[in-house]
Amino acid sequence: MKEAAILVDGAFFLKRYFAIVSKDHSPQQIADCLCSTVMKHLNPVRDGDEVFGLYRIFFYDCPPLEKKVRHPLTGRDIDYSKTPLVLFRKELHDALKKKRKMALRLGYLKDENWIVPKNILNKLLKKQILVEDLKEGDIVHSIKQKSIDMKIGIDIASLAYKKLVKKIILVAGDSDFVPAAKLARREGIDFVLDPMWNHIAEDLNEHIDGLKSFFPNPYHKIAELKKFKGNIDIEKGLDI
């Protein structure tokens, strides 16, 4: 049987999951839902579609930041290791590690600096508020993921060049993956994107073989549905 690999951009997945599935699910529930949902990509949807075996599910994320930092405005120490987000991320990673044929690919987080969000900055520039009016929540600690896109790209290239799979399902929505998608298709891989009903850039839509999601469809109203169809190529297989 031909095999397929499923690659999941963890940060993207969680953002969309909270938006279209639930904000209240436990890490175990999220891990269970992820696996059961993406596995549907391997089974025929229409007569004549191929059945694929699972090569592996790759989940890309970063360990949570656990350092202590000092807020530049208030001088208050913030211990990230004691925040609910850290506990949630650790429990999610532990739940995923226990799943069969699950590979956790971890990058790292880099805390760069403190920033003033655009809406607050605009108020400052328009002198609607003064620096003295700023509150602790008005200054945000900038934390960015590192090496995740590179790991996804390398894995796609490795799977394609080594002929390990005949199909790749990518759960993501970033056009940064266009070069990797083009490479996989040149190597004969059926490349399917699952954007979890999120709008995708036209250049990404152009370089994939299929567009499909089995997660709950948030576009219920006809007007919204028509607008969503306008952003994608329905002929590539997104079932609505």
Of residues 225 and 169, more confidently modeled: 169
Work out the pLDDT band at 221, boundaries 50, 70, 90. Answer: very low
pLDDT attached to residue 233:
43
Burial 193-204 (b: 16+ CB within 10 A, else e): bbbbbbebeeeb
Both tokens assigned to 71 = 């807020």
Mean pLDDT of the region 20-25: 95
Mean pLDDT of the region 154-159: 97
Task: Name 24's Cβ contacts closer than 8 Å, sequence gap at least 6.
Answer: none
* Cα 170 from Cα 11, distance rounded (Å): 13
Task: With a cut of 60, say whether residue 41 has pLDDT above it.
Answer: yes
Work out the pLDDT band at 227, boundaries 50, 70, 90. Answer: low
Mean pLDDT of the chain: 88
pTM as predicted: 0.85
Task: With a cut of 80, say whether residue 164 has pLDDT above it.
Answer: yes
Task: Name 67's Cβ contacts closer than 8 Å, sequence gap at least 6.
Answer: 80, 81, 111
pLDDT (tens digit per residue) in 62-120: 999 888 888 988 889 988 888 899 999 999 999 999 999 999 999 998 877 899 999 99
Q: Which domains does the chain have, with CATH numbers?
A: 3-107+147-236 (3.40.50.1010), 108-144 (no CATH)
* Cα 63 from Cα 106, distance rounded (Å): 7
SS3 for 127?
coil
Work out the pLDDT band at 229, boundaries 50, 70, 90. Answer: low
